[in-house]
Amino acid sequence: MSYFSFEIVHTSKKSRARVGRIHTPHGIIETPNFVPVGTNGALKAIDSVLVDKLDVQLMFCNTYHLMLQPGPDLIQSAGGLHTFINRKKPIITDSGGFQVFSLMYGGITAELKSSGAKKENNSVLKINEDGVLFRSYRDGSEILLTPESSVQAQKKFGSDIIIPLDELPPFNMNPRKLLNSFERTHRWEKRSLEEHLKTPNNQAMYAVIHGGIDPELRKKSAEIANNQAFDGHAIGGSMGENHEQMFTMLDGLLPHLAYERPIHLLGIGDLKAIMPFVLKGIDTMDSSYPTKCARHGVLFTTQGTVKLMNSKYRDLHEPIDKNCPCHTCTNYTVSYLRHLFKAHELSAYTLASIHNIHFMINYMAEIRSKIMNDEI
């Protein structure tokens, strides 16, 4: 399949970390890399042209949101998601399942505390072998999300990488229910792959690896995925209550995943976690962490984070990072950025987001360089 391939350039002598290149119809993704989240087909506060200029090689968009607004048909009529949002580089989309099940069980924090109890007034109307029926928060209409309909939406988007529909079981679900969910998820993924392969359209599909923090289930999930014609693997499902449980789970899982396929980690990419992920052999990871931090005035530097609202930055007439070549640091001071935040000026969010995205992209380039030199 020439439209999509993963080339492993170098594996570190010190760890499982590897430098690779994912080839897609919209260009190359150098790995390891960070994947910013542009939920609605837009990175928050940064327009697509600028996102391309910041060398964001892969952007993550959410099918759930795009399905409800503006809808797959409208995006298709525009010529696909790349044309619609004017992005030249690769795009990965999820299935919509994560948001639907978050609506059902609550957000990640609430989900960790739940044992599978549904939220009151939740918008999920029915879930069965076919798929999930839920109510649109935008217009109240009923929407049936199935493995097939999710793939069809992502076909209309023309995403470079498609994620199949999975069920996100709550962390504390009882073992029998968890196993049922696990098995249904893999049946859904198989249906998704079949639907996808009817019209591959130069798109790739990653399997989602499930199994919670159960090492045997994770291993089994890896084997199921390895044995099907997926182009890569995305680690999903519950990853435990803290970083330690997650790292233990990953240590157990990663040796079982097909080495020659790219490995994505879904929805986690805080600064502290990235290096451990890379050392364990993860190639890409998506997160809204840098843009969310930016909008809260938390800026990344090699010397630690700068919390702009701290009064000690009131009259710091210097860039966030003197050595940073980003638009924000070459043009503005900490004191001015802090003022923009205090005054609730919209450009505050843009300038802070530009800096944090630039930092992440640069950080990943340094990591790749260290792997090439077997330093990590």
Positions marked catalytic? 94, 286
Which one, 199 or 310, has the nearer CB to a second copy?
A: 310
Which one, 8 or 42, has the nearer CB to a second copy?
A: 42
Write the binding mask 2 to 41 for a second copy: x where contact by CB under 8 A, - elsewhere: --------------------------------------xx
Which one, 157 or 206, has the nearer CB to a second copy?
A: 157
332 binds a second copy (CB under 8 A): yes
Which one, 14 or 342, has the nearer CB to a second copy?
A: 342
Buried b (16+ CB within 10 A) or exposed e, 318-356: ebbbeebebbbbeebbbeebbebbeeeeeebbbbbbbbb
Whose tokens are 């890896």? That residue is 222
Burial of 316 (0-12, 13-18, 19+ CB in 10 A): middle
How many C-beta atoms surround the C-beta of residue 272 within 10 A? 7
Which one, 196 or 338, has the nearer CB to a second copy?
A: 338
- Distance from C-alpha of 94 to C-alpha of 41, rounded to nearest angstrom: 12
136 binds a second copy (CB under 8 A): no
Sole binder of a second copy in the list 47, 223, 260, 270 (CB under 8 A): 47
> Which among 13-21, 188-196, 249-257, 326-334 is the span making contact with a second copy, rule CB under 8 A?
326-334
- Distance from C-alpha of 293 to C-alpha of 36, rounded to nearest angstrom: 12
Would you give the end-to-end CA distance of the chain in angstroms?
A: 32
296 binds a second copy (CB under 8 A): no
- Distance from C-alpha of 155 to C-alpha of 289, rounded to nearest angstrom: 27
We find the least distance from the C-beta atom of residue 82 to a second copy, in angstroms, to be 12
- Smallest CA-to-CA distance from 8 within 364, 280, 255, 368 is with 368
315 binds a second copy (CB under 8 A): yes
37 touches 60 (CB < 8 A):
yes
- Distance from C-alpha of 354 to C-alpha of 361, rounded to nearest angstrom: 11
49 binds a second copy (CB under 8 A): yes
User: 161-162 and 204-209 as β-strands: parallel, antiparallel, unpaired?
Assistant: parallel
Contacts with a second copy in 54-83 (CB under 8 A)?
A: 65, 69-70, 74, 77-79
> Which among 111-119, 159-167, 259-267, 329-337 is the span making contact with a second copy, rule CB under 8 A?
329-337
We find the least distance from the C-beta atom of residue 345 to a second copy, in angstroms, to be 5
We find the least distance from the C-beta atom of residue 359 to a second copy, in angstroms, to be 18
Contacts with a second copy in 338-367 (CB under 8 A)?
A: 338-340, 342-343, 345-347, 349-351
> Is the alpha carbon torsion for 226, 229, 235, 237 positive or negative?
negative
Footprint of a second copy (CB under 8 A)? 40-49, 65, 69-70, 74, 77-79, 84-86, 314-315, 317, 327, 331-333, 335-336, 338-340, 342-343, 345-347, 349-351
